[in-house]
Amino acid sequence: MNVDDICVHWTISTFDRQLKGQLSARHYILDWTKASENEQIEIMNILGISSAPPKQKSNEMWTKSETFSVGATKPDERMLRFRRMFVEKPVEEISKKANSVGKRHSVFENVNLNREYYEDETGREISMREIIQITHGSNYITFDVEGIVQLGSCTISARETWTIDKANTLFNFIQVVRLILGSSWAQKKSSITTYRKDKTEALDCDFPTVENMSAILILFRQLYASDKLMEKACEVYKEHSSNITKKSWIDHCLNNFKQIIDSEPGFFHLLQGCTVKQLFEAFLYGTGMVHSPCDRNLENRNRLSGLVRQYGREKVIMAVNISFWNVLECAGGLFRVIKQDYERWIKQDGCVGSDMFDIYSLLQSHEIK
């Protein structure tokens, strides 16, 4: 595979000293011309991209194809060595490049380090400690999760209103997200490769299995649907957290989550005229994976059928998986912060804990020794 066919995208959280109190996301694309041949090979190895030419369909020559993937990417800090080769681009330009037609084979990969990474407005790496020092006295800062976790656990506030029900809400949220993070679905990438020959188009896809998907559907449903587990957990946490910065960060995360649910699916706008919530409900209820068929699910069945007819089943399922990952990104950050303080409130502050069963302990196998 030629490097000209590969687009490497890197989103970097950037702190601008002139805009104290905020972290903004800047988008960068790898300029392969800045890399030597050996460096190009090393980058491809880090990203897990084969240098072999893309496979052909049957015995015919299929050309001009692109691959989109989403899912668990093995983190690798070695990419920092090639930071100078990345050029900032407007997100609209990146999206347009991804959606353009008639181009050669393109693989879109995202850089993933094994830690939180920040830069200042000059492109220099900056630590969360430096950001906190610079913004000392500011009322609000949009920290990433690593900076919030590094603040440490905080004591419980409004202890007199703490109840078993509130403990259950936080415990339930922690357990649901833990199950998703540890699921087979979360270990699997989803990808679509489009092959073209003249005016003919063919798709290859690689998705989690039915068993992988069915295991996490009811868990995601708890986060966004009528259970409103994500929102309830945030409200309980904010009521009892004694740290103002953490509570502001929780608000920021919850707002991001709501925006995702109410927006069109996916970074590359795979589907239009449909929100993530509508897509989730069409998939969960339209397939009968969550509830058996009934009249009130007719709208969801019709929406799913319409989306599959318009976009093809591959793009619909890709949009479902991308949206699940976007939701999990929000939930995963909240999980780390809420778990950190919930455990302190129960173990150190002496608050009553949940009376729900820990599913991992309940189902644990053991042998008599």
Mean pLDDT of 113-124: 83
Q: How do residues 201-248 score in pLDDT, each as one tens digit?
A: 777 888 999 999 999 999 999 999 888 999 999 999 999 999 988 998
Instruction: Tell me whether strands 6-15 and 106-110 are parallel, antiparallel or unpaired.
Output: parallel
Mean pLDDT of 284-301: 83
Mean pLDDT of the chain: 84
Q: How do residues 80-103 score in pLDDT, each as one tens digit?
A: 999 999 999 987 777 766 655 444
Q: Is the pLDDT of residue 18 over 60?
A: yes
Q: Domain locations in the chain?
A: 1-141, 143-355
